[in-house]
Amino acid sequence: MNSTERELLKLIEKNGRLETGTIAKLMGITEDETKQILDKLEKEKVILGYSAIIDWTKGTEEGAVTAMIDVKVTPKRGVGFDKVAERIYRFPEVKAVYLMSGVYDLSVSIEGKTMAEVGRFVSEKLSTIDSVISTTTHFILKKYKHDGLVFSDNDEDKRIVVSP
Amino acid sequence: MITEPTSKYLSNTVQSIQPSGIRRFFDLASSMENVISLGVGEPDFVTPWNVIEASYHSLEQGYTAYTANAGLFELRKEISRYMKRRFGVSYSAEEEIVVTVGASQAIDIALRAVINPGEEVIVVEPSFVSYAPTVTLAGGVPVPVNTYSEDDFKLQPEQIEAAITDKTKVLMLCSPNNPTGTVLSKGDLERIAEVVEKHDLLVISDEIYAELTYDEPYTSFPAVKNMRDRTILISGFSKAFAMTGWRLGFACGPKPILQAMLKIHQYTMMCAPTMAQHAALEALVNGQKDVVKMKESYRQRRSLVIHALEEMGLSCHVPGGAFYVFPSIEKTGLSSEEFAEQLLMKEQVAVVPGSVFGESGEGHVRCSYATSVQKLEEAMRRIDRFLQTL
């Protein structure tokens, strides 16, 4: 990957809504070049999607409960952890799955409307998978920072309007 | 402005200088709502967290007392290493560096240390608003030398020669320049150095924006041949490390001058704030990554703004550093004050009239691009709309 591609990725990682025209001007390249690079990176699956980071606790109950679940599993012969991980990440409630080093194997992030809904998912769907030995569910009480973004209102410009 | 009998108590010197034109514009802009400000001469980033934490740590450790007058020795050693590493100039931490309350104080004590009453200081304009008044306050006479957009606001050596009299003592340089963003290249500086040497001048080189250059490697004036011992280098932490409110700067230069500056500093300021000095130390040791990140962002925004100004037909040289563009508004037929005031009233965009930076700033406005991309785009749309109405 070259430095132009890296610069573009950093820009849209911070703000996926930037228009191609704006990206082009910021980087001092043409709009056509910008489109070509974006197409290429999408094709190569370097860019996997464009999503928004939303504070669901504000005004809506949707996805308001998030839990991180530590999962211990028995790896299957030949496929290791991958097959179990796949069975888990296919569930739409699951937002993220990571293979971890340390005392447990998979870290699973779940979002639901209520704690009961998340609880049901863990007891009825996750724990019942054959290879799953145990689960430990941690509910997130408050999000302070997520994906590099701070969840707070305290970000207004504190500078005076005109200064030397 | 100040009426009798109060004014009789004021010194003639202070009465002879005008309040900053920026101040007047600030009052006007702050009385309005929903203003997009391109009038801000400071980074839009908050000081990097590790730097803030270093000041907490300093306070927690009980560092609430004075430091040495010249500043924490550890900090001076680090400044010395930084100057060597980044710009290739060596200064002794013991005798050739003074830590000051912002680069502004460094400029003040530098001038007061070297100027006798009536001696002349060449000030390259458009210039930072404080230079000429600080020269006057030090008892000197500021001699403006204008630079022009057709030269990309670069000082021409023959202009210095033309301004030199038998009273000329100091040349004040600022590269990258506030408000034009112009950076003097190594070649430009070498040509200036020849004149400086020929006429035995002293140079005060304000390099506060040195970390914020975008197109070519930066040359520090004291790094130019024979210039180290006739230059007072002024710098600080405000711009590169987004630390304007911390008020921390420094001066480096030949021992006799720096020791003279230290005398003024110790009798008037004692020392710079201790917790800010610890923060600055952290900034120098671990802050370079943040500088690179901020600089990258400024470079992108410079490109956005230059592009937008070009599209709306406002001619503008490409500034090599700092975070200002200085487009010409001459074709509108308005003075820079009128332009800035009408733009503020009609479209709520604050820019600074070029005239506040000196005579040759007239016909231009200073727009700072240290503002979010969204605000910059909106501001450019509004300026375009404003131009259509003229």
Q: Would you call A22 and B304 a contact, using CB atoms and an 8 Å cutoff?
A: yes
The whole-chain average pLDDT of chain A stands at 91
pLDDT confidence of residue A60: 66
Q: Which CATH architecture has domain B7-46+289-388?
A: Alpha-Beta Complex (3.90)
The predicted model scores a pTM of 0.92
Confidence check: pLDDT of B245 > 60: yes
Q: Are A76 and A88 in contact (CB under 8 A)?
A: no
Each residue of B13-41: pLDDT tens digit?
999 998 888 888 888 888 888 899 999 99
> Is residue B358 a contact partner of residue B146, using CB atoms and an 8 Å limit?
yes
Lowest mean pLDDT among A141-150, B38-47, B230-239: A141-150
CB B143 within 8 A of CB B169: no
Residues forming CATH 3.90.1150.10 domain(s) in chain B: 7-46+289-388
Name the pairing type of β-strands B36-37 and B141-146.
unpaired
Q: Which residue in chain A has the smallest CA separation from B39? A: A162
Backbone angles phi, psi at B278, to 5 degrees: -65, -40
For residues B171, B177, B182, B183, the Cα torsion angle rounded to the nearest 10 degrees is 70
The DSSP element (H or E) to which A118 belongs, if any, is helix A115-120
Give the model's pLDDT for residue B115. Answer: 98
User: Using an 8 Å Cβ cutoff, are B164 and B199 in contact?
Assistant: yes
Neighbours of B193 (CB within 10 A): 20
Pairs of residues, one from chain A and one from chain B, whose beta carbons lie less than 8 Å apart: 63
Asked if the model's pLDDT at residue B2 lies above 60, the reply is no
A159 touches chain B (CB under 8 A): yes
* B331 band by pLDDT with thresholds 50, 70 and 90: very high
> Above 90 in pLDDT, residue A137?
yes
* Interval B270-282 mean pLDDT: 98
Classify domain B49-287 at the CATH topology level.
Aspartate Aminotransferase; domain 2 (3.40.640)
Its ipTM equals 0.83
Residue among B373, B376, B381 with most chain A CBs within 10 A, to mutate: B373
What residues in B contact A160, CB-CB < 8 Å? 26, 30, 40
Give the position of tokens 């197109």.
Answer: B215
- H or E element, residue B78: helix B73-87
Nearest to B131 by CA among B221, B47, B243, B208: B208
Residues of chain B with CATH 3.40.640.10: 49-287
Q: Which of B45, B305, B303, B316 is nearest to B180 (CA)?
A: B316
A17 in B contact zone (CB under 8 Å):
no
Window from A153-157, B44-48, B150-154, B310-314 with minimum mean pLDDT: A153-157
In percent, the amount of chain A with pLDDT more than 90 equals 69
CA–CA dist B30, B350 (Å, integer): 10
pLDDT digits (tens, 9 = 90+) for A47-88: 999 988 888 878 766 667 999 999 999 987 777 899 999 999
CB–CB contact B350 A11 (8 Å): no
Q: With H, G, I as helix, E, B as strand and everything else as coil, classify residue A29.
A: coil
* A6 and chain B in contact, CB less than 8 A: no
pLDDT of residue A55: 83
Residue B384, token pair as written in the block: 């375009």
User: All domains of chain A, ordered by start, with CATH?
Assistant: 3-44 (1.10.10), 56-142 (3.30.70.920)
Cα distances (Å, whole numbers) of residue B339 to B60, B134, B300, B333, B345: 50, 28, 26, 9, 10
Stretch B190-213: mean pLDDT, rounded? Answer: 98
* Mean pLDDT, range B97-108, rounded to an integer: 98
* Closest CA relative to residue B157, chosen from B145, B168, B165, B170: B145
